[in-house]
Amino acid sequence: MKHFFRKNNIFLWIELAIAVVVLLLFISIRYNASVNAEKRVSVIVEKSSDAKWDSFRQGLSDAAKDQNINIVMVSTGELVSAEQEQKLIDREIEMGAKALIVEPAPGERTSGLLQKAARNVPVLLVEADCFGGSYLNRVSFDDEELGRAIGAEVLSDFSGDVSGKKIGVLSGRLNTQQASERLSGLSESLGKPDFRFLLSNADLKGLGEDISSFGSVDILVALDTYSLEVAGANAVQQEGSPALIYGIASSDKAYYYLDRNIVKALIVPDEWEEGYQAMSRTVQLLHHTSASLSDATAGYTVVRRDNLFSEENQDRLFTGSK
């Protein structure tokens, strides 16, 4: 038998090389299988059943196509605390979530709990433009830019000068980072006027007055979709609005008010893009295809009545109307 192998070392090396290649191929197949196995991605956002998230949900779904991802939109109401959010995160991880897409709850402790969760599964943040102290990947809007954009639309209707005008700011919660940044951008673009602050959510106590007093302003700027809808509904109820209404919003109702000329201009954050980018980055984190990803900023569209139904805007805005 030794004669059989004598002087045939080169062929043993060839056999060994082939065996190594076969082994590597097997490992690749196994790796591909594990990579391509269905993965659960849990999405935790405030008031998940709100129509506001329709486009976002569609974006998530479009990005998850061909990736074998099972998207679970966790049913939530108002997220008021980090502890509340932590319970949801822990439950989802327990149920086998391979990644999380999370809208951070307000509060200082949220950062810590998200960092802790990120040790177990990849975590991607949405609607967290100003979420400080986190090393997690984020997809969000440039809220300050949104504020500046709506301010620019206001200025364009007033020939660039709103001095002497009473400007009301309508928001659901003025104490959120999002509202704060948008307000900052708006203020900057309008030349830092004095605002009258109004709350669209009467249940919350805050700096502002009730929405019903908005008639005393000349210009009303809504900083979020809910606020804009409240302003529009109010205007419809009062059969007209003495104030010119502008807003940062994305919903069919908001478009309806624009269409009926109740709202003058809208800054529509591209929720679909936010969802798409969030899921795309989450897929990359799951596949470890990027050691670190840069944060992404979703865009927005400036919409007025005359371009509401343009070919491009029809497709971008009315994602729920298929």
Partner 1 sequence: MDLKQEKKRKLHIPNDIQSILMVAFTLSTLLIVSVLGLSIYARFSAESREAAAESTDHIMNVAKSSLEDDLYYMREVSDALYYNTIRETDISDSAISLQMNLLYEANKDRIVSISLFDKNGLLIAGSPLSTVKDNVKISDCDWFLNAVQHKEAYYFSAPHIENIFEDMSPNYHRVISISRAVDLTDGGLPEAGVLLIDMDYSRLYDGFSETNFSGKQYFYLCDGSGNILYHPQSMAIIHGFFKENAKEEAALPDGRYELTYEGGRRDVTVASIAYTGWKLISVTPESSAFIGSTNGRYFLLIALLLTAMALIVINRLVAFRISRPITRLDRSVKAYEAGEKYPDIYTGGSDEIRHLGASIKKSYAEIEELMTSIVHEQEEKRHSELAALQSQINPHFLYNTLDSITWMVEGGRSDEAVAMISELARLLRISLSKGKNIISLEDEFAHAQSYMNIQKVRYKDRFTADIHLPKELENFCTIKLIIQPILENAIYYGVSEMDGDGEIRVTAEKQGKDILISVSDNGVGMTPETAAKVLLPEAHIVKHGNGVGLVNVDTRLRILFGEAYGVSIESEPDEGTRVLIRFPAIEFSEENRKALEAGKIPGQDKSAL
Q: Contact positions toward partner 1, by CB under 8 A?
A: 3-4, 7-8, 10-11, 14-15, 18-19, 21-22, 25-26, 28-29, 32-33, 58-59, 62-63, 65-66, 252-253, 255-257, 259, 270, 272-273, 276, 280, 305-306, 308-309, 311-312, 314-316, 318-319, 321-322
Q: In whole angstroms, how close is the CB of 39 to partner 1 at the nearest point?
A: 15
Q: Of the two residues 197 and 256, which places its CB atom closer to partner 1 in the complex?
A: 256
Q: Of the two residues 64 and 183, which places its CB atom closer to partner 1 in the complex?
A: 64
Q: In whole angstroms, how close is the CB of 117 to partner 1 at the nearest point?
A: 28
Q: Of the two residues 92 and 145, which places its CB atom closer to partner 1 in the complex?
A: 145
Q: In whole angstroms, how close is the CB of 8 to partner 1 at the nearest point?
A: 7
Q: How far apart are CA 224 and CA 208, in angstroms?
A: 15
Q: How far apart are CA 254 and CA 232, in angstroms?
A: 8
Instruction: Give the three-state DSSP class for 168.
Output: strand
Q: In whole angstroms, how close is the CB of 132 to partner 1 at the nearest point?
A: 29
Q: How far apart are CA 306 and CA 211, in angstroms?
A: 28
**Please, what is the end-to-end C-alpha distance for the chain in angstroms?**
75
Q: Of the two residues 57 and 182, which places its CB atom closer to partner 1 in the complex?
A: 57
DSSP tally for the chain: helices H, then strands E: 11, 13
Q: Of the two residues 165 and 253, which places its CB atom closer to partner 1 in the complex?
A: 253
Beta strands in the chain (DSSP E): 39-44, 69-73, 97-102, 123-126, 137-141, 167-171, 195-199, 209-210, 219-222, 244-248, 263-269, 296-298, 300-304
